[in-house]
Amino acid sequence: MDEVEINRQLRELVEQLKRENELLKAKVSELEARLAQYENPHTPPSLRRGRNRKKDQEKDIKASPVKKSVIKA
């Protein structure tokens, strides 16, 4: 390969990396925006998004102490 060909390939690689960098920057911005929705300290826990509410409720039920009751037959 001559110097001109190497230079052309390097320029193509630089352009490809620039495009990839722009796509990644856009993706990071999108993910940061989504993360901000979940980390808002002013949102009460009952309104926070992204939780599996049913699963959380099941955990609360399992974690609560169970009262023993006598079953009369």
pLDDT reading at 71 higher than 70? no
In tens, the pLDDT along 3-61 reads 999 999 999 999 999 999 999 999 999 999 988 877 767 777 777 666 555 665 666 66
pLDDT reading at 68 higher than 80? no
Q: Answer whether 0.75 is exceeded by the pTM.
A: no
Beta carbons within 8 Å of 49's beta carbon, 6+ residues apart: 37, 38
Separation of alpha carbons 18 and 12, rounded Å: 10
2 falls in which pLDDT band (50, 70, 90)? very high
Task: Provide the residue type at 45 as one letter.
Answer: P
